[in-house]
Structure 1
Amino acid sequence: LSLPLPLLSAILFSLRVCRAADIPEDATSEFSVRLYHQLQAAGDQDNIIFSPLSVAVALGMVELGARGASLEEIRQAVGFSHLLQGVEFSLLQNLTTALTDDDANYVIRFANSLFLQEGITFNPEFLHLMRKYFRAEVETVDFSESAAVAEQINSWVENHTESKIRELLSAEDFSSVTRLTLVNAVYFRGSWKNQFRPENTRTFSFSKDDGSEVQTLMMYQQGDFYYGEFSDGSQEAGGVYQVLEMPYEGEDMSMMIVLPRQEVPLASLEPIIKAPLLEEWANNVKRQKVEVYLPRFKVEQKIDLRSTLQELGIKKIFTNDADLSAMTDGKDLYIGKAVQKAYLEVTEEGAEGAVGSGMIALTRTLVLYPQVMADHPFFFVIRHRRTGSILFMGRVMTPEVIDPNDHDFDSM
């Protein structure tokens, strides 16, 4: 009996701060960077967006049910092997609890659910720990009714992401041998500490790394941000590149943008990205007045976590060698499917919405302050500033494209 387990992580991110969390400095940053490099290798000119935190939570839920080598592979890959076994569950619990603290500064919805096959008996201790550490809801379904199950789970995801993530799964994702599905949904919305004024947004050319150009809406502001210029010590990454850190309200969270020189493709800079370098950037940017040109962008991506995680050494849980015996007494349970869908929208406020205004081409002017002109591909990280924990990571190869010929443009 083969038991595929779609493991889903549906994420919506519309930018908001979160409270400090009791997690060790950089526990999973190496894992985050390795995940990024896997995704980068898979897509040449594609935007990337994923949540390392959400992958860690989803794997934590699986880890609760794993034993032996299956358990060790997860702990090793995620970066928990130096901790006493079991400590990581409290760490993940503390982070998710901190995220869901009632706070007027931001809107966050964090929800986990287990969908179980009717008639299968799961270990009561496993279900207890799932509720304890991940506040996971438990529902029973009949996976042989695949269309109905897909509809039920999609509705659940949609409800927990304010309708931003739809149709995550289809009937083809399930069969009569599916026994367990894990779903993890995060909705996150917030504001920049220094918002962009919509009336300063203009049409601008964005130069892609393949040499083509697209028209996009470029936001602009002059403000106090954390800024630094770094050198990779060679010419491979084009020598000097810029790092801009833009805090969200409350300053717990920030978005860090890493921008190579205009003529340098992002692919030249990506190989040098390593976990210690993220720390170096964070520790060396200095608060100063900066002119920022940042395109509005919306990126979403559905990731096959199964193949990505296998590349990172988490293999057994996806094969007949899996030991998930802490979940159920059945010895033949394994994960057949693992998916994450992430969504990120960046606008003038940092949150959803914001309408475009006066679309007039901008020209570069002589300025006294450092200028960050993100009119070509860049890398970004959204992190918790105190712990260095990475909530989102990705790159923008193509921002939102606008058509200069559409009627909105003409009316301006």
Structure 2
Amino acid sequence: MLMLDVLSPLLLLLLFSILLPGYGCRAADIPEDATSEFSVRLYHQLQAAGGQDNIIFSPLSVAVALGMVELGARGASLEEIRQTVGFSHLVPGVEFSLLQNLTTALTDDDAHYVIRFANSLFLQEGVTFNPEFLHLMRKYFRANVETVDFSESSAVAEQINNWVENHTESKIRALLSAEDFSSVTRLTLVNAVYFRGSWKNQFRPENTRTFSFSKDDGSEVQTLMMYQQGDFYYGEFSDGSQEAGGVYQVLEMPYEGEDMSMMIVLPRQEVPLASLEPIIKAPLLEEWANNVKRQKVEVYLPRFKVEQKIDLRNTLQELGIKNIFTSDADLSAMTDGKDLYIGKAVQKAYLEVTEEGAEGAVGSGMIALTRTLVLYPQVMADHPFFFVIRNRRTGSILFMGRVMTPEVIEPSDHDFDSM
């Protein structure tokens, strides 16, 4: 069977390793404003540290992981998580049901796309964990629970890495090493999210051409540019000043079924993405989604592949979740004692965007890549852009990131004349 992933494997892994004191990453996704605000704050933290690098991460996966930690947290550890993610105004515990309902709705959708959530707890042999905590982990997160001996660090790393590979179609390999564990490790929590979707309007591979992509540092690289003319959601927006260079474009491209989409935000050719990024706020995400209109658009989008491994411990501490990473952590809902804290928090994400889609899908008649004779609005993503993969019904953000450099090709890689 043809695997038609327009967003060829889109997936991500979130790992939290708890050492003798604690762990942290958090939940809930229903109050859209709270989740969106947390997502944007995460993005700005990564942007500040990222220089000219590509960015890819999953806000939803961070939310799921933090939710699992929150189940075991108490006192200041619990409140920091709720406050930072934006759920301190909710009745305690409501967010678990909200997150459960959200992930169930995503994974229960019929075959237009594939989203899989896989959560697992690896517990130290001989340590007694609260039965209620384990029950709630299974109830809300369908978490698999296994016991291991962390002193056998090489064997544990291999076991967890195999689990991750199996749940990400082998896109994330060798996430952990023996050095990540020691005799004081008590719990490792792993959360994997996998997404694969086919464009509703697919690109034809025969329309793909080599093209120059202008980076924000003024240099150019050669990449493979996909092209199509089709019906998409499109809008032009202004920040009301010159901070973002005036007018910028927003293009929303749905996947089959139209529940999931990729939203691309593109500044003008001469405006660096860094000028646009500061205006990105949670209300603006909603404004874009509510105001793009369906119309005929010419789309030039590079094939790209982005991968990133993120130290979430540092990022979450910057956002205000600090207690769970110290000896002051209170994860007493996991065990009877207060001797757990979070020693490691890592997220690794992978995203590949290609032409691939359902065979025989409607395509455009135009083939040549050209900037002339513009009959419809034209989105020319030949310079850095911001993107969001979201559920159009709930507003939840599965992936967020930016492309500063697409997949670079060398002249020797392809026979360009034949293309």
TM-score (norm 1): 0.92
Q: Aligned to 2:287, which of 280, 288, 310?
A: 280
From the superposition, tell whether residues 343 and 72 of structure 1 become closer, same or farther in structure 2 (CA, over 3 Å): same
Does the 8 Å contact 1:146/1:175 carry over to 2? yes
Q: Distance in 1 between matches of 2:6 and 2:204?
A: 52
**Are 1:21 and 2:21 an aligned pair?**
no
From the superposition, tell whether residues 218 and 5 of structure 1 become closer, same or farther in structure 2 (CA, over 3 Å): closer
From the superposition, tell whether residues 38 and 316 of structure 1 become closer, same or farther in structure 2 (CA, over 3 Å): same
Does the 8 Å contact 1:306/1:339 carry over to 2? yes
Q: Deviations over 1:215-257 (max 9, x none)?
A: 0000000001111111111112101100001111111111110
Deviates more, 1:135-144 or 1:105-114: 105-114
Does the 8 Å contact 1:3/1:334 carry over to 2? no
From the superposition, tell whether residues 346 and 78 of structure 1 become closer, same or farther in structure 2 (CA, over 3 Å): same
> How big is the shift at 1:276?
0.4
Q: Distance in 1 between matches of 2:7 and 2:156?
A: 14
Q: Deviations over 1:282-325 (max 9, x none)?
A: 11111110000000111110000000000000000000110000
> How big is the shift at 1:105?
1.6
Does the 8 Å contact 1:4/1:177 carry over to 2? no
Does the 8 Å contact 1:4/1:336 carry over to 2? no
> How big is the shift at 1:186?
1.3
Give unmatched runs, 5+ long, in structure 2: none
From the superposition, tell whether residues 28 and 21 of structure 1 become closer, same or farther in structure 2 (CA, over 3 Å): closer
> How big is the shift at 1:188?
1.1
Does the 8 Å contact 1:14/1:189 carry over to 2? no
SS at match of 1:410: coil
> How big is the shift at 1:5?
31
Q: Deviations over 1:309-355 (max 9, x none)?
A: 00000000000110000000121110000000111111113699999
From the superposition, tell whether residues 11 and 2 of structure 1 become closer, same or farther in structure 2 (CA, over 3 Å): closer
**Are 1:59 and 2:66 an aligned pair?**
yes
Deviates more, 1:86-95 or 1:352-361: 352-361
> How big is the shift at 1:28?
0.4
From the superposition, tell whether residues 60 and 22 of structure 1 become closer, same or farther in structure 2 (CA, over 3 Å): closer
From the superposition, tell whether residues 41 and 154 of structure 1 become closer, same or farther in structure 2 (CA, over 3 Å): same
From the superposition, tell whether residues 231 and 207 of structure 1 become closer, same or farther in structure 2 (CA, over 3 Å): same
From the superposition, tell whether residues 326 and 141 of structure 1 become closer, same or farther in structure 2 (CA, over 3 Å): same
Does the 8 Å contact 1:252/1:386 carry over to 2? yes
Q: Distance in 1 between matches of 2:71 and 2:36?
A: 21
Q: Distance in 2 between matches of 1:386 and 1:14?
A: 33
> How big is the shift at 1:358?
16
TM-score (norm 2): 0.90
Q: Distance in 1 between matches of 2:92 and 2:359?
A: 40
From the superposition, tell whether residues 354 and 207 of structure 1 become closer, same or farther in structure 2 (CA, over 3 Å): farther
Q: Distance in 2 between matches of 1:163 and 1:237?
A: 39
Does the 8 Å contact 2:387/2:402 carry over to 1? yes
Does the 8 Å contact 1:21/1:98 carry over to 2? no
> How big is the shift at 1:158?
0.2
From the superposition, tell whether residues 326 and 45 of structure 1 become closer, same or farther in structure 2 (CA, over 3 Å): same
Does the 8 Å contact 2:230/2:364 carry over to 1? no
Within 5 Å, give how 1:68-217 maps onto structure 2.
68-101=75-108, 103-217=110-224
Q: Deviations over 1:344-397 (max 9, x none)?
A: 111113699999999998331211210000000000011111221111100000
Q: Distance in 2 between matches of 1:378 and 1:112?
A: 32
How many pairs were matched up?
Answer: 412
SS at match of 1:336: strand
> How big is the shift at 1:409?
4.0
From the superposition, tell whether residues 336 and 4 of structure 1 become closer, same or farther in structure 2 (CA, over 3 Å): farther
Give unmatched runs, 5+ long, in structure 1: none
From the superposition, tell whether residues 356 and 289 of structure 1 become closer, same or farther in structure 2 (CA, over 3 Å): closer
**Are 1:411 and 2:418 an aligned pair?**
yes
Q: Distance in 2 between matches of 1:333 and 1:293?
A: 50
From the superposition, tell whether residues 285 and 397 of structure 1 become closer, same or farther in structure 2 (CA, over 3 Å): same
SS at match of 1:27: helix
> How big is the shift at 1:19?
22
Does the 8 Å contact 1:5/1:334 carry over to 2? no
Q: Deviations over 1:26-47 (max 9, x none)?
A: 3300000000000000011000
> How big is the shift at 1:23?
2.7
SS at match of 1:408: coil
Deviates more, 1:168-177 or 1:91-100: 91-100
Deviates more, 1:88-97 or 1:303-312: 88-97
- CA RMSD after TM alignment: 6.7
Identical pairs, percent: 94
From the superposition, tell whether residues 59 and 3 of structure 1 become closer, same or farther in structure 2 (CA, over 3 Å): farther
From the superposition, tell whether residues 153 and 175 of structure 1 become closer, same or farther in structure 2 (CA, over 3 Å): same
